[in-house]
């Protein structure tokens, strides 16, 4: 029997379910369901405001989370972006491409019942094995390339947090001390629970909290951050060749995931951002590194 993702069932109210004869859909979300897509069951998308918060409408029905909670978004710009993700769906709904929607679902539902400290701890694990700190000395040419590209980022990170982290020859950062982790933890905790989900997705994407931090503070573009996270891979490709379509696919997917994470973080931290306003300068995060 064809199975559909559970969250599709929860995004519409009962009248729509009856209208589309979806009441017989299985309640369990199986791992095999990722290979299927449900047909688009709505025509229009919009947003609705309620006391400074926003929701997303599919036709006239409110979008709900996989656990059946009302989707509440604190930013008009983010709500519009989520509505646009649903609007861009064609004949079938491709959930894997809806990164902002999934981040909003995580922030509202918190299905794993994580605390802020739990999420921060997971983010900090990427600092312990950060991509840019591992500069092997087995290939002199590669070592030169990595130091040239990564050392400025490490220095910028050290400047932010007044630390003295240095590259390592192993897979762990030898110079990472408890006080350094405390300093970074304090900053991450200041971002708040919703934004932390975006930081975690960014760190997972580039396997680096240094690259995430530099991208977060606009020292790097998203595309540059993804490229810098794969410098060793790029170096090997120049020597041994590449399968272009596979490399392009994985790189584009990483750019999309990181872009969504950065947008989610920015809109979450800047709920008053006006998506229609013209801005001469690049928007800056309102959170300070030093509290």
| Local structure of residue 216 (DSSP, 8 states) | H
Domain boundary among 48, 63, 97: 97
More confident residue, 78 or 237: 78
Regarding whether 139 and 86 lie in a shared domain, the answer is: no
Regarding whether 213 and 78 lie in a shared domain, the answer is: no
Residue 104 lies in a domain: no
Cβ contact 81:100 at 8 Å = yes
Average pLDDT over residues 30-42: 62
| pLDDT tens readout for residues 148-196 | 999 999 999 999 999 888 887 766 676 688 888 999 999 999 999 999 9
Residue 283 lies in a domain: no
Is the confidence at residue 229, as pLDDT, over 50? Answer: yes
Regarding whether 202 and 63 lie in a shared domain, the answer is: no
| pLDDT at residue 245, as a whole number | 54
CA triplet 138, 142, 146: central angle to 5 degrees? 115
Domain containing 33 equals 6-97
Cβ contact 103:261 at 8 Å = yes
pLDDT band at 289 (very low <50, low <70, confident <90, very high): very low
Please tell me the distance from the alpha carbon of residue 140 to that of residue 126, in angstroms, as a whole number: 26
Regarding whether 127 and 36 lie in a shared domain, the answer is: no
Q: Sign of the CA dihedral 106, 107, 109, 114?
A: positive
Residue 282 lies in a domain: no
| pLDDT at residue 53, as a whole number | 93
Residue 125 lies in a domain: yes
Query: What stretches of 207-282 show up as alpha helix (H) in DSSP?
Result: 209-216, 222-229, 231-240, 244-269
Regarding whether 228 and 176 lie in a shared domain, the answer is: yes
| pLDDT at residue 189, as a whole number | 96
Regarding whether 232 and 191 lie in a shared domain, the answer is: yes
| pLDDT at residue 234, as a whole number | 77
Regarding whether 245 and 183 lie in a shared domain, the answer is: yes
Average pLDDT over residues 136-142: 84
Domain boundary among 34, 65, 97: 97
Which token pair is 175?
A: 């110079």
Residue 227's domain is classified under what CATH number?
A: 1.10.3580.10
Which token pair is 231?
A: 């410098």
Positions of E strands within 138-254? none
Residue 47's domain is classified under what CATH number?
A: 3.30.2180.10
Which token pair is 245?
A: 């379509």
Regarding whether 246 and 199 lie in a shared domain, the answer is: yes
Positions of E strands within the chain? 38-39, 45-50, 53-58, 61-62, 92-93
Is the confidence at residue 136, as pLDDT, over 50? Answer: yes
pLDDT band at 27 (very low <50, low <70, confident <90, very high): very low
Please tell me the distance from the alpha carbon of residue 246 to that of residue 283, in angstroms, as a whole number: 34
Q: Which is nearest to 145 in space by CA: 219, 230, 217?
A: 230
Regarding whether 217 and 173 lie in a shared domain, the answer is: yes
| pLDDT tens readout for residues 47-60 | 999 888 999 999 99
| pLDDT at residue 10, as a whole number | 42
| pLDDT at residue 251, as a whole number | 85
Regarding whether 121 and 260 lie in a shared domain, the answer is: yes
Average pLDDT over residues 19-46: 56
Measured CA distances, 36 to 68, 92, 275 (Å): 21, 9, 34
Residue 274 lies in a domain: no
pTM for the predicted model, two decimal places: 0.79
pLDDT band at 275 (very low <50, low <70, confident <90, very high): low
Average pLDDT over residues 255-267: 96
Please tell me the distance from the alpha carbon of residue 285 to that of residue 218, in angstroms, as a whole number: 9
pLDDT band at 287 (very low <50, low <70, confident <90, very high): very low
| pLDDT at residue 171, as a whole number | 66
Residue 103 lies in a domain: no
Average pLDDT over residues 5-25: 39
How many distinct structural domains can be found in the chain? 2
Regarding whether 66 and 130 lie in a shared domain, the answer is: no
Q: Over the chain, what is the mean pLDDT?
A: 81
Regarding whether 220 and 165 lie in a shared domain, the answer is: yes
46 phi/psi in degrees, rounded to 5: -160, 175
Residue 44 lies in a domain: yes
Residue 204 lies in a domain: yes
Cβ contact 106:122 at 8 Å = no
């Amino acid at each position: 029997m064809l199975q559909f993702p559970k969250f599709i069932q929860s995004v519409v109210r009962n009248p729509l379910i009856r209208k589309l004869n979806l009441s017989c859909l299985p309640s369990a979300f199986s791992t095999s369901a990722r290979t299927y897509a449900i047909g688009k069951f709505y025509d229009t998308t919009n947003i609705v405001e309620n006391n400074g918060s926003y929701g997303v409408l599919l036709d006239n029905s409110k979008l709900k989370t996989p656990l059946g909670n009302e989707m509440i978004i604190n930013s008009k710009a983010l709500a519009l972006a989520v509505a646009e993700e649903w609007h861009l769906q064609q004949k079938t709904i491709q959930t894997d491409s809806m990164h902002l929607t999934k981040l909003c679902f995580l922030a509202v539902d918190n299905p794993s019942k994580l605390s802020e400290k739990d999420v921060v701890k997971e983010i900090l694990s990427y600092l312990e094995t950060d991509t840019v700190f591992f500069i092997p000395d087995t290939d002199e040419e590669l070592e030169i390339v990595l130091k040239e590209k990564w050392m400025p980022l490490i220095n910028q990170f050290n400047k932010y947090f007044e630390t003295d982290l240095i590259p390592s020859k192993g897979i762990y950062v030898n110079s990472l001390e408890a006080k350094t982790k405390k300093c970074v933890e304090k900053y991450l905790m200041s971002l708040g629970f919703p934004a932390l989900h975006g930081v975690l997705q960014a760190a997972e994407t580039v396997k680096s909290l240094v690259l995430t931090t530099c991208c977060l503070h606009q020292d790097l573009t998203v595309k540059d951050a993804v490229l810098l996270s794969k410098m060793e891979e790029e170096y090997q490709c120049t020597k041994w060749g590449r399968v272009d379509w596979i490399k392009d696919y994985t790189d584009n997917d990483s750019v999309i995931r990181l872009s969504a994470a950065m947008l989610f973080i920015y809109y979450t931290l800047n709920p008053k951002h006006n998506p229609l306003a013209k801005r001469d300068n690049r928007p800056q995060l309102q959170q300070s590194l030093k509290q």
